[in-house]
Amino acid sequence: MNRKGLVISRRGLIGGLGSTSALMLTGCGESQPPTYGNILRMGDNLTYAMQRTLLSSAALVREYDRSEITSMPATGTYDPARTDLGNHDPQGGRDYAVMRKGEFADWRLVVEGEVERPGSFSLADLGRMQRRTQITKHSCEEGWSAIAEWTGVPLRAVLEAVGMRPSARYVEFYTFDKIADSLDMIDALHPQTILAYGMNGRALPIGHGAPLRLRTERQIGYKSVKYLRRIVVTDRFNDLGNIKSGWAWYNGI
């Protein structure tokens, strides 16, 4: 191919990708992750569109052997009850302290929103549902990574149990330390997206999000929020504070 043809082909490719991303962003519905006019956030939306367009939604991340498990630090909030350490939600911290004292016997995961049967689940309830164990790599936005074994219930099984409506497009997660985040339905329904109550063959430690945390293995570590207390299924995107604070909503790896 001559240079002129190569230039035309490249322009055609770039133009085609741009058109595809624009169609995807506008075609998914009227509510999309906002950019607030920030060029970096616009890049996030382009990355999201490209990955969703070009990569398989069913692709699995690598899973490892037990011999490859490494040590893993507990970062961010490592005990919501320690409000003296700068916990974002004093009331949530007090609620968490009470439930932890009772070994989470009174803890419930509330699931509501665009579902037919809103309800709540105890740890025992979740333990009786479909179980998945996976050994995966946690890739932190700070540059470190670690391999751990996670056991829990696929998020999909919980959403099916409450009767997710056809209008559902995003799943929001709320925690005891006031961290909140969301996933689109592609990641929410992915088989490796689980609500983990176990780590390395034991109950999930406090520092890693007990009694329940999200594991979304196809995104950067901070998307796997800890200390879950409520899930809301929605028909539109809501910025729960991350984008406005400068964090990327989509962090596919």
Q: Express as a percent the part of the chain with pLDDT over 90.
A: 70
- Is 169's pLDDT higher than 80? yes
Interval 100-110: pLDDT, tens: 999 999 999 99
Structure tokens at 80: 């919501």
pLDDT at position 216: 98
Structure tokens at 181: 């985040």
What rounded mean pLDDT belongs to the chain? 88
pLDDT at position 10: 38
| pLDDT, average across residues 22-26 | 39
From the list 234, 233, 232, 199, the residue with the least C-alpha distance to 213 is 199
- Is 13's pLDDT higher than 80? no
Of residues 46 and 226, the one with the higher pLDDT is 226
- Is 217's pLDDT higher than 70? yes
pLDDT tier at 18, thresholds 50, 70, 90: very low
pTM reported for the whole predicted model: 0.87
pLDDT at position 83: 73
In angstroms, how far apart are the furthest CA atoms of the chain? 73
- Is 12's pLDDT higher than 70? no
pLDDT at position 6: 34
User: Would you give the DSSP letter of residue 178?
Assistant: S
Query: H helices of 168-208, where?
Result: 185-188
Q: Of the ranges 5-19, 28-42, 43-57, which one carries the lowest mean pLDDT score?
A: 5-19
pLDDT at position 86: 67
Of residues 23 and 81, the one with the higher pLDDT is 81
pLDDT at position 62: 97
Instruction: Tell me the Cα Rg of the chain.
Output: 20
Full DSSP string of 38-69: -HHHHHHHHHHHHHHHHS-TTPPPP---GGG-
21: helix, coil or strand?
helix
Interval 40-96: pLDDT, tens: 888 888 889 999 999 899 899 999 999 999 999 999 898 999 877 766 788 999 999
Q: Where in the sequence of the chain do the CATH 3.90.420.10 domains occur?
A: 61-253
Interval 111-133: pLDDT, tens: 999 999 999 999 999 999 999 99
- Is 19's pLDDT higher than 80? no
Please state which CATH number belongs to domain 61-253.
3.90.420.10
pLDDT at position 40: 86
Residues 113-149, buried b or exposed e (16+ Cβ, 10 A)? bbbeeeeebebeebeeeeebebbbbbbeeeeeeebbb
